[in-house]
């Protein structure tokens, strides 16, 4: 089974993740040691602070620095973690933020969001007006969703993919938080997983297999295989 990391901040010098190529390679090599050979590079794109054109130029500069040094045996695709605001929808082309050549787009919202009708309208615009498939990042950071899985169900009915972070399943994570997440996984509410790695101390990539082992122990190996199959579909469509 190939392992896929659908969310990371490994591109050098573009956001609060790896500050240099050397630090990027430290993270990539640690992921490789974990058996992760397919990695999505998704730097923050704050749509209320920078235009899509300027973001794409900054990201390309980071890509050009890192790509010659990608470890042998690893595949990467480039996307973005897009902070969704009204400024996205001003007529600019933000397709550059999708995973590679796909129409999947990793989306982030304010953690205090209640996922009201106003927020849901953003998902409608992405799916219906822009023909994109939103991937909602780190679902565990939204209390409104964790406390009311029916909202996650509404999102999934709209075609939204739900992502969770590996560090939420480690020994250091809250027992009660893990319990809620495992119930969501068993209920079919969570689709893919990512490290969200910024460094060896901020969302440590070295816990990737610890998280998968925990999920496998609680939900079965078939659940992990399904999550990786979902990730593979997105990843391959991006190539």
What CATH number does residue 120 fall under?
3.20.20.140
- The CA-CA-CA angle for residues 169, 171, 175, to 5°, reads 70
pLDDT of residue 149: 98
Count of domains in the chain? 1
Q: What is the mean pLDDT of residues 149-158?
A: 98
pLDDT of residue 219: 98
Question: How confident is the model over 175-219, as pLDDT tens digits?
Answer: 999 999 999 999 999 999 999 999 999 999 999 999 999 999 999
Mean residue pLDDT of the chain comes to: 98
Question: How confident is the model over 5-59, as pLDDT tens digits?
Answer: 999 999 999 999 999 999 999 999 999 999 999 999 999 999 999 999 999 999 9
In the structure, what pLDDT confidence band is assigned to residue 132 with cuts at 50, 70 and 90? very high
pLDDT of residue 198: 98
In the structure, what pLDDT confidence band is assigned to residue 174 with cuts at 50, 70 and 90? very high
pLDDT of residue 227: 98
pLDDT of residue 97: 98
CA 235 to chain centre: 12
Structural domain range at position 80: 3-238
Instruction: Say what percent of the chain tops pLDDT 70.
Output: 100
Structure tokens at 125: 């615009």
């Amino acid at each position: 089974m190939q392992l896929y990391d659908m969310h990371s901040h490994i591109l050098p010098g573009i956001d609060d993740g790896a500050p240099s190529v050397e630090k990027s390679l430290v993270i990539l090599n640690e992921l490789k040691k974990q058996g992760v050979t397919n990695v999505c590079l998704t730097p923050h794109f704050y749509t209320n602070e920078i235009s899509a054109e300027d973001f794409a130029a900054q990201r390309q500069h980071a890509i050009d620095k890192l790509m010659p040094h990608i470890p042998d045996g690893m595949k990467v695709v480039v996307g973005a973690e897009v902070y969704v605001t009204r400024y996205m929808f001003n007529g600019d082309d933000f397709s550059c933020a999708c995973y590679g050549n796909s129409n999947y787009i990793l989306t982030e919202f304010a953690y205090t969001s209640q996922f009201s009708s106003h927020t849901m309208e953003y998902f409608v615009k992405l799916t219906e007006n822009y023909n994109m498939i939103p991937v909602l990042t780190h679902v565990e950071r939204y209390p409104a969703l964790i406390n009311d899985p029916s909202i996650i169900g509404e999102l999934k009915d709209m075609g939204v993919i739900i992502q969770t972070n590996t560090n939420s399943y480690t020994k250091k994570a809250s027992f009660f938080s893990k319990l809620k997440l495992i119930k969501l996984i068993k209920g079919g509410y969570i689709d893919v997983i990512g490290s969200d790695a910024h460094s060896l101390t901020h969302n440590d990539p070295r816990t990737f297999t610890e998280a998968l082992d925990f999920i496998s122990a609680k939900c079965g190996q078939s659940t992990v295989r399904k999550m990786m199959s979902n990730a593979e579909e997105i990843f391959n469509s991006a190539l």
